[in-house]
Amino acid sequence: MTTIEPAETTIGPAGTGTTTSGLSAAGTTAADVLRAHIRDVADFPQPGVVFKDITPLLGTPAAFTVVINELATTAGGYGATVVAAIEARGFLLAAPVAYRTGVGVVPIRKQGKLPGETVSRTYDLEYGTATLEVQADAFQPGDRVLLVDDVLATGGTAAAATELVRASGAEVVGLAVLMELTFLAGRDRLAPLAISSIMEV
């Protein structure tokens, strides 16, 4: 496998010395970088929910690189042979993580989007109900699958995705997310699944 090291890029205000390695001389971590590029939106998509908007992160190449590299390191640590991307925001993260890690990416989509035979699960999330699907032949026997998403909240989405992968005959080695809303206890719901989050809220 070819190892590609991205060019070291300075991010943040000039002179802060934060780099794409995720660490600066001052000890800035990937969590610090992520926290600085998340926008809280009150009462979206419904009253009482504080929505964690990742669009500032997506729009800041150097910060995005730090975060993708961190997720790719996680994927390598789990020995993942394939990354499963949870629609929609998970797609934006899982594809570059798969590319960086040198593995394939499988889309886990909302209902009605995938052709051919699919496996599906309906679940509740922090603000509603949804159905996820994966193609029945998406995984090979022996695949070690890392689920990738932006947010772990109640864990409903990740639980459904885990069930889908297992029903397709593959092993889920873990879940990697940008952030975990700890007050919603998704981690407890998913136990004993291995979960890696860059930052906790």
Look up 100 and say whether it is catalytic: no
Classified as helix, coil or strand, 32 is helix
Considering only 58, 125, 130, 193, the residue that binds ligand ADE (CB under 6 A) is 125
The CA distance from 102 to 18, in Å, is 26
Question: CB of 92: closest distance to ligand ADE in angstroms?
Answer: 13
Instruction: Please report whether residue 182 would count as binding ligand PRP according to CB under 6 A.
Output: no
**Catalytic residue selected from 89, 100, 109, 121:** 89
In the complex with ligand PRP, which residue's Cβ is closer, 37 or 89?
89
Instruction: Please report whether residue 49 would count as binding ligand ADE according to CB under 6 A.
Output: yes
Residue whose C-alpha is closest to residue 94's, from 113, 81, 107, 80: 107
**Catalytic residue selected from 70, 109, 121, 126:** 126
Binding mask 151-180 for ligand ADE (x = CB under 6 A): x-x---------------------------
CB 180 within 8 A of CB 152: yes
Binding mask 50-89 for ligand ADE (x = CB under 6 A): xxx-------------------------------------
Instruction: Please report whether residue 153 would count as binding ligand PRP according to CB under 6 A.
Output: yes
In the complex with ligand PRP, which residue's Cβ is closer, 99 or 124?
124
φ/ψ (deg, to 5) at 186: -60, -35
Residue whose C-alpha is closest to residue 129's, from 59, 192, 13, 46: 46
Gyration radius from the chain CA atoms: 17
β-pair partners for 129:
124
Question: CB of 51: closest distance to ligand ADE in angstroms?
Answer: 4
Look up 39 and say whether it is catalytic: no
Q: How far is CA 138 from CA 105, 168, 169, in A?
A: 10, 7, 10
Please give the positions annotated as active site.
89, 126
